[in-house]
Chains A and B, each alone.
Chain A
């Protein structure tokens, strides 16, 4: 017993806490809807995990208002503008990411997973968020984005995976897509060596679509055919045949 505990002490690895949020949609998700949902999730993670002080749209609106104020007002010292430049650059980078995510889903609707990594590097992150998308279902009734996004966030807030998480200081964010090798991804670069990190907290958002209602039912034959064991009695059969002829 002592030996086991000694061994476990030596090889002790910090196992990531793995939490899963099940997100169910009442219909199919078109590729542009998938892209928009992923973008909204990134915005949500950034705000909820303290990477931006306000929701993304508010940050953007505030920045725009400030720029208009600066343009209208007297000249400002360049040093005063430095933090604003940094925020502006972050907004621009995020918008570039969102734009390319949309394009990627158009090029490759088969994207099955999106990994969002918060932390210094993708090998040793602080937090990893995996969004698993459902398979494409051409037969399903597709939902409009507005319905999907409301249903998604309602489920996210009800399940509240991130409620006990401690504040995260601003850090790097990396986004990876899992797509077929032959897809013509333009902006995202292939990473052949990527493996899911073993460090940090791990959150999975598993999206599933309810299958279209199958209106088919089983129909059973009204006659049961029973098997038999004894070999056929040829003599009797001939006799029967004879009788039939006689009639």
Chain B
């Protein structure tokens, strides 16, 4: 009975781990689905009861590791507001797609707080979001040009930002259409997903 109680409770640390892991798999899924990197540079991984594709490219892995470790810190101190994956044309630098994840942090939570939430329920929520990211290729326009990606992070103001991070504009898509995707919550962090893409005439 005691074990059951422990399993259903979530702490700030646990929530941060779960959300960070989601971002890692989510970004990998976007890069694979949208063909930003060649499909042969991805390997299968079983996660959330899904077959997910994760990059084997060392440089990309290192880049994502750096980002996720910083995100983890910002999630722990509740200062992360948005994470955006911007897909843009290499040739023209035009923004073609913008995947936005809004993070709602419960700032009343401390490192001692424990919230009752079934881990399976959280994982089902994440699975549902990733499944929708995968299915979104059915309505997104084909990326006809070679593309690169950028990750933008919105945090609270007056935050000490590491030197490797620079300030940037919002990189909006000009003449865009938006589709709101599913969301999930750990009760400590809530993540809402959305994709904006260039409107086809």
Contact = CB atoms under 8 A, between A and B. Distances in A.
Interface in B24-68: 39, 49-51
Interface residues of B, number: 22
Given A53-B51, A54-B51, A163 B138 contact: no
A149 B138 contact: yes
B79 interface: no
B49 A157 contact: no
Contacts of A167: 49, 124
B135 A47 contact: yes
Nearest to B195: A157
A85 interface: no
A157 B137 CA distance: 11
B135 A153 contact: yes
Q: For chain A, what secondary structure do more than half of its interface residues adopt (helix, strand, loop), or is it mixed? A: helix
Interface residues of A, number: 21
Interface string A51-91: 00111000001000000000000000000000000000000
B135 A150 contact: no
10 contacts: A40-B138, A44-B135, A47-B131, A53-B50, A54-B134, A61-B39, A150-B138, A157-B132, A163-B128, A167-B124
Nearest to A59: B51
Contacts of B90: none
A158 interface: yes
Nearest to A155: B139
Given A47-B131, A154-B179, A158-B180, 8 more contacts: A44-B138, A54-B51, A150-B140, A150-B141, A150-B200, A163-B128, A163-B182, A167-B124
A48 interface: yes
Contacts of A54: 51, 134
A154 B51 CA distance: 24
Interface in B129-179: 131-132, 134-141, 177, 179
A153 B139 contact: yes
Contacts of A166: 124
Interface in B111-131: 124, 128, 131
Interface of B: 39, 49-51, 124, 128, 131-132, 134-141, 177, 179-182, 200
A55 B181 contact: no
Contacts of B141: 150
Chain A CB within 10 Å, residue with most, of B132, B134, B135, B141: B135
Contacts of B200: 147, 150
A160 interface: yes
A157 B136 contact: yes
Contacts of B134: 47, 54-55
Interface string A158-176: 1010010011000000000
Nearest to A151: B139
Chain B CB within 10 Å, residue with most, of A152, A154, A167: A154
Q: Which 8 A-B pairs have the closest CB atoms?
A: A153-B138, A153-B139, A154-B139, A53-B51, A150-B139, A54-B51, A163-B182, A157-B179
